[in-house]
Chains A and B, each alone.
Chain A
Amino acid sequence: MRSGDDDERVRNRAARCGPLALAVAFAASAALAGESAEPEAPPRPPLVTREVPGVVAREAQPVEQPEDPSAFTTVINVDDYRDEVTTTADLLSRTPGVQVRRFGGEGQPAEISIRGSTPAQVIVQLDGVPLNSAQSGGVNLATLPLSLLERIEVSRGGGSVQAGSAAIGGVVNLVSRRPGGQRRSDASFTGASFGTYRGSAATAGTIRDVEYVFAYDGFGTDGDWKFRRPVLDVGGVVIEPDPPTATRINNAAETQAGLFALGHDLGENAHVTLRDQIFFESRGQPGLDSGSVGAAGQRPNAHERTTRNVLGATLEGADLSPLEIDATLDLWHRYQRTRFHDPDIVPSLGTTIENEDRNDELGTRLGLERAFPLFATQHRVSLSLEGAHDTLDSDTFASQRRNAGGIVLQDDAGAFDERLRLIPALRWDRTEGFGAEWLPRIGAIATPLPWLLIKGNLERSFRVPNFDELYFPDRGYIRGNPALQPEQAVNADAGVKLTAPPIGPVHDAFVEAAWFHNDIDDSIVFLLVSPSLVEPRNTGAATVDGFELSGGFGVTEWASISANYTHLDARIDATDTPLPGRADDETNVRIEVGTPSRAVRVIAEMQITSEIPVSDSGNTILPARTVFDAAISVDLVRFAWWPAQIPARSLLLTLEGTNLTDRTVRDAQFFPQPGRSFAMRVETQW
């Protein structure tokens, strides 16, 4: 007879071994398939230039995006981090202007803020498909497996002209692994503290002119770490928690994700890509640690399961006659189902919770672009037409439907040999129920000297309320507000980037400084509006000012240093109180030392986060912290002392320690994060 504990152990083992078994099977099959594959087709040159130029250093660097050239953009090449144990949330958190708020350890939700925004004010796209659901707005970064990605593009500042509603803080575009090219495969396995395991495998190449990529990522964790509960200092009165420490319970998580993409040339000038990414997550929801009995008030049985599928097709054409227009047509469908179940009575509600939400989005985007000279200037004019239909079906929520669309016209006008570029743009956007919005933008880029780049932007952005904010069912203590109006914002930023030629052993040196200012009106905030009811309301104006500094350089071929610093002053205008949940200052420093062959590398990182106000007065404050991480990796293929020859392009062994000084870390008052942890990773490419 099997006990409940046995069942739990079986489940845990399954969570651990699932990724392993799948990844090993996948790797083996990929290897075997590779041996019997057809001769490789030559790599296909890109038809439409969407590559991001200039990423040469290992660190994430500010670069220019063709679609939004004047935006302050950082591109993270995932391949640069494959010998580290890291996640999408980790990489984003080290990007200037970005703050990531975590609600637990790996596998638990994490949300992004750019330049002081709310998570719902950041659009997160997967290959151009918005992942923000019309229901809840924000995107959980823990649902974005890094191993399925090729790069991450982070554009800070208003992006509504390019991306539509919600891009008040910025846009994150996740670019999946691309199909095609020479056949290449990789697999990795990670084991880490707290029963955490991750396995991934991928293969890509071309067979009979059909480009392909298959990738899998599996993750599991017990998440049963101990944590110290914070002491409360109330104006000098010290209040100690009881119990002083606790173990995170019901914190196991399992994710499975797969990527499948095919590409094919359609003649000389066209190319089609079909891709699908499926993601499944099953995790406990331990909730707050604000109680005092049992496991400090954590919920022992609350559970959430999420399934998401993003299916997309892209048809690209270059130099299409007769006007030599580049064209891109995207079609996509995003489906997301979330089920939440808590079989225990929630004392404050007197009931259990059981609900299921299903979100669908069907969308399309047509982009046309043409470059031409006009008098002494060079123009690159683009026109984009977009449309999306969102639906929400729920067993606790009235079904909702919404159509939205937009038209964007942009010019990138260069003069003086492109040393001065003006990028005016205008978007007409319409969301069902909210009428039309005109969103102008003007950007400018000047490169008066080869080592000096100056740019700035002024634009409008907005965010339409999501279904939760509008229509959340009336529970008595909380409800939605159908009378909400869209959030409105004016974003301005300006900055410089300096690059230096090699000076002695120092090379690839750069410094970028950016100032930003956001005026946000009609911010939507869940407020207590009566003695017993919380409801979202459009509040008054808020202002976010700040600046970002980032820089880096290499020293000989053995070392590189990069750092960034972001200062934020986000305040409610009427009361001059800070917007809660944002740290005023965040600093990231990264040092890499290793052999030029990259056979051995040592990486040290430091993240300094200032105090975080967590109440709307700013008076309740989470402590500042400094967290150190370190990793060492060895590539046995390149390691000269390794006695045997390894038939692979690389075989990386990595040992990483996170939060080495075991600091207590919290981004939200009642959500602990794990202390020191270790991970070992093996990754091979062939």
Chain B
Amino acid sequence: MVRASTRHVALLVALAYLHTGGACGGGSGSGGSPPVTTIDPPPDERCLALPSQFPAGFDLAVGAPGRGLAASFNPGVVVPVDVESVPPRSVATGPLVDLRSTIAQDACGGFLDPAFDGVVSVASNLALVTASSCEAVAFLDPVSGGVREFNVSTPASAAAGAWPFSPAPGASDLRVALPTRTCVTVPVGTLDSRGAPVVPTRCDLSQPSFFSSFTSGAAVAAGALFVSVSNLGANAGSPNTQFLPGTVLVFDFDASATPPSVGPSATGAVLFTSGFNPTQVTAYRSPSGRDFVLVTVTGALGLAPDDPLTPEREAGGRPLTNAAIDVIDAVSRRVVATIPLGLAAPSFDRLAIDPTGRVAIVGSAVARQLYAVDLAPLDTLVLAPGAAPLVLDGSTGPDAVIFDATAPLALPAIPNGAPVATCPGYVVGADFDATGTKLFATDFCDGTLAVVGVDLSGNPPVPVPAVSTRFAVLQTLPITAPLTTASLGLSRAPGAVRVRPGRPGVDYRGPDVLFLVSLPEGQLCGVRIDSR
């Protein structure tokens, strides 16, 4: 009897268990108002909080004085901002919506999250956002921060599968983003950054090939859209990253059409850069009106290994292959020249070009240095059809190098700044003021803004002499805390910098220099340098 009763209990328990198990539903955590994660305004009164750390980019709005666009990484949004106010303020008229899902639908079949990489203002009604992972260039309305539709087409001559996420060859489609994933084929024997031959992959099993990846920059010139694609291969982010041959994709582009249109150039949509890792393209119109696109070719990058002979733990970046500024003739859509910079590792923001168009300057991703090239030779550049690009270091063309890896323009470190062993300097961005006499450069490591005096008066020779009377560091201003263990919690790691056009105090009253901050939250800060 006892045995039967005990079994009865066990059975009862089991039945209750079975009955309850599948019957209980649950909620979705949606009670009450929507949950809100808050990012409070930063304590620095010069700064506007942005939605994520490491903001993807910032640009001043073309054709809209006093306005700018700040792109965030996660969520993927572009915040239209009023840069006249202190701090800059958002002028979004309503809630912004994370754009990544919409972009992914149009650019990569909804499979991969677009990782916003940068924003560039093209016209008063158009801005472009570059995104990697889901490789794309998205079209945005700079006023609202929302997306715009373009008629995206693929030339009929394109090979099937060459543009896997674009419309079929010969077809077109209204889309908010342009796919930049394409199958790149290279000649047999082409080497990657590790010196190994590029091999056939699934994008083209018949020849060495790879899918383009890490869309990094966009520029519009001469009716074409130029998109730099870094083409990182295996082990991205590791000390042993593989860099595949760098490319710039070329698209026919007509923003004035109805609807505006874009599509891979039928006459050659893939240009190869002179080195690995093209990280940015900058549109440039020469004094005589020739349109070029300048490509920042950073070269393969690695990490400095720890030196066991030093007490510090080294962690800085290390250039592995040569860098250059490649010159694309925007009309003929070919690389016509390259300006070697050596083992420089130029940084990834666009080139700073002085208002006269004479000099282009870029920072270093691995050192507290600037590099500069003279653009004067481009105005008269002539390249025969089929000829190799000229090398503008005095070998096959005029010497256009002002500051390169062997003779850089060094920026000073600050006392008690970031440890040299781990963060020896990273000049993220640089920009000229409207007069062309001052250049502002941000250092990620020390949290500084360097002010460099530039004197291009008197029609200097080519290249502009790299002398202190022409280029001199005037000031090094701390704008955030340095990247040290003691600065945890403070604003640090400044990013891209932009200087407003016009005369401060005359053409506008607000800040003249705007820069991004990466940590602890993303920020856009405005400072008035000229008023000091």
Inter-subunit contact B31/A661 (CB<8 Å)? yes
Residue of A nearest to B132 (CB): A347
* Interface positions of B from 417 to 444, Cβ below 8 Å from A: 419, 422-423, 426, 444
Inter-subunit contact B488/A231 (CB<8 Å)? no
Inter-subunit contact A240/B10 (CB<8 Å)? no
Inter-subunit contact A677/B24 (CB<8 Å)? yes
Residue of A nearest to B74 (CB): A290
Closest Cβ of chain A: how far from B422's Cβ, in Å?
Answer: 4
B22 contacts A by Cβ under 8 Å? yes
Would you give the 0/1 interface string for B39-63, flagging 1 where the beta carbon is closer than 8 Å to chain A? Answer: 1111000001111010000000000
Would you give the 0/1 interface string for B15-27, flagging 1 where the beta carbon is closer than 8 Å to chain A? Answer: 0111111111111
Alpha-carbon gap, A640 to B239, bound state (A): 73
Would you give the 0/1 interface string for A531-566, flagging 1 where the beta carbon is closer than 8 Å to chain B? Answer: 111010111100000000000000000000000000
**How many residues belonging to B are interface residues under a CB distance threshold of 8 Å?**
101
Inter-subunit contact B2/A225 (CB<8 Å)? no
Alpha-carbon gap, A44 to B40, bound state (A): 62
B402 contacts A by Cβ under 8 Å? no
Which residues of chain B have C-beta atoms less than 8 A from A623's C-beta?
A: 35-38
Which residues of chain B have C-beta atoms less than 8 A from A679's C-beta?
A: 20, 24
**How many residues belonging to A are interface residues under a CB distance threshold of 8 Å?**
110
Interface majority SS on B: helix, strand, loop or mixed?
Answer: loop
Inter-subunit contact A228/B29 (CB<8 Å)? yes
Residue of B nearest to A185 (CB): B6
Alpha-carbon gap, A428 to B334, bound state (A): 73
27 contacts between A and B (CB under 8 A): A27-B13, A28-B7, A35-B6, A189-B16, A191-B22, A225-B27, A230-B34, A233-B37, A234-B39, A235-B49, A238-B96, A242-B98, A242-B100, A293-B110, A474-B239, A572-B488, A575-B489, A611-B38, A619-B521, A620-B521, A647-B5, A647-B9, A648-B9, A666-B35, A675-B28, A677-B24, A677-B27
Residue of A nearest to B113 (CB): A291
Inter-subunit contact B37/A235 (CB<8 Å)? no
Which residues of chain B have C-beta atoms less than 8 A from A475's C-beta?
A: 237-238
Given contacts A239-B51, A529-B315, A680-B16, contact A540 B39 (CB under 8 A): no
Closest Cβ of chain A: how far from B235's Cβ, in Å?
Answer: 6
Inter-subunit contact B32/A663 (CB<8 Å)? yes
Which residues of chain A have C-beta atoms less than 8 A from B319's C-beta?
A: none
Could you list which residues of chain A lie within 8 angstroms of chain B, going by C-beta atoms?
16, 20, 24, 27-28, 31-32, 35, 187-195, 197, 199, 225-228, 230-245, 290-294, 297, 347-351, 474-477, 481, 483, 525, 527-533, 535, 537-540, 572, 574-578, 611, 615-623, 646-648, 651, 653, 659, 661-666, 669, 672-680, 682, 684, 686
* Interface positions of B from 231 to 252, Cβ below 8 Å from A: 232-241
Inter-subunit contact B488/A669 (CB<8 Å)? no
Inter-subunit contact B488/A530 (CB<8 Å)? no
Which residues of chain A have C-beta atoms less than 8 A from B50's C-beta?
A: 234
Inter-subunit contact A347/B37 (CB<8 Å)? no
Inter-subunit contact B237/A348 (CB<8 Å)? yes
Closest Cβ of chain B: how far from A177's Cβ, in Å?
Answer: 19
20 new A-B contacts at CB < 8 Å, known A238-B95, A616-B488: A32-B3, A191-B24, A228-B30, A233-B39, A237-B92, A244-B34, A292-B75, A476-B238, A525-B488, A527-B488, A530-B316, A539-B486, A615-B520, A616-B520, A617-B521, A623-B35, A661-B32, A674-B29, A678-B24, A679-B20
Could you list which residues of chain B lie within 8 angstroms of chain A, going by C-beta atoms?
2-3, 5-7, 9-10, 12-14, 16-32, 34-42, 48-51, 53, 74-77, 79, 90, 92, 94-102, 104, 110-115, 133-134, 232-241, 303, 311, 313, 315-317, 365, 419, 422-423, 426, 444-445, 483, 485-491, 493, 519-521
Kindly list the 8 A-B residue pairs having the minimum CB-CB distance in the complex, ordered from nearest: A577-B489, A675-B29, A676-B27, A662-B31, A191-B21, A193-B26, A675-B27, A189-B17
Which residues of chain A have C-beta atoms less than 8 A from B313's C-beta?
A: 481, 483, 535
Alpha-carbon gap, A298 to B325, bound state (A): 39
Alpha-carbon gap, A350 to B3, bound state (A): 62
Inter-subunit contact A662/B104 (CB<8 Å)? no
Alpha-carbon gap, A351 to B237, bound state (A): 10
Residue from A193, A234, A236, A648 within 8 A of B25 (CB atoms) = A193
Alpha-carbon gap, A462 to B422, bound state (A): 27
Inter-subunit contact B315/A242 (CB<8 Å)? no
Alpha-carbon gap, A615 to B238, bound state (A): 26
Alpha-carbon gap, A669 to B521, bound state (A): 14
Residue from B235, B311, B493 within 8 A of A351 (CB atoms) = B235
Alpha-carbon gap, A684 to B240, bound state (A): 60
Given contacts A350-B235, A664-B30, A686-B9, contact A239 B490 (CB under 8 A): no
Given contacts A529-B483, A677-B27, contact A235 B7 (CB under 8 A): no
Inter-subunit contact B92/A678 (CB<8 Å)? no
Residue from B12, B40, B98, B486 within 8 A of A574 (CB atoms) = B486
Inter-subunit contact B239/A225 (CB<8 Å)? no
User: Which has the most chain A C-beta neighbours within 10 Å: B7, B31, B96?
Assistant: B31
Closest Cβ of chain B: how far from A261's Cβ, in Å?
Answer: 24
Inter-subunit contact A622/B37 (CB<8 Å)? yes
Closest Cβ of chain A: how far from B306's Cβ, in Å?
Answer: 8
Given contacts A235-B49, A242-B98, contact A675 B31 (CB under 8 A): yes
Residue from B17, B75, B134, B238 within 8 A of A191 (CB atoms) = B17
Residue of B nearest to A475 (CB): B238
Which residues of chain A have C-beta atoms less than 8 A from B41's C-beta?
A: 235, 619
Closest Cβ of chain A: how far from B78's Cβ, in Å?
Answer: 11
Given contacts A239-B77, A575-B489, A682-B13, contact A615 B29 (CB under 8 A): no
Which residues of chain B have C-beta atoms less than 8 A from A187's C-beta?
A: 10, 13
Closest Cβ of chain B: how far from A135's Cβ, in Å?
Answer: 21
Which residues of chain B have C-beta atoms less than 8 A from A351's C-beta?
A: 234-235
Inter-subunit contact B17/A476 (CB<8 Å)? no
Alpha-carbon gap, A226 to B164, bound state (A): 33
Given contacts A191-B21, A572-B488, A684-B9, contact A227 B28 (CB under 8 A): yes
Given contacts A191-B17, A347-B133, A677-B24, contact A530 B422 (CB under 8 A): yes
Which residues of chain A have C-beta atoms less than 8 A from B114's C-beta?
A: 292
Residue from B10, B36, B423 within 8 A of A530 (CB atoms) = B423
Closest Cβ of chain B: how far from A472's Cβ, in Å?
Answer: 13
Alpha-carbon gap, A483 to B314, bound state (A): 12
Given contacts A189-B13, A623-B36, contact A680 B24 (CB under 8 A): yes
Alpha-carbon gap, A665 to B35, bound state (A): 8
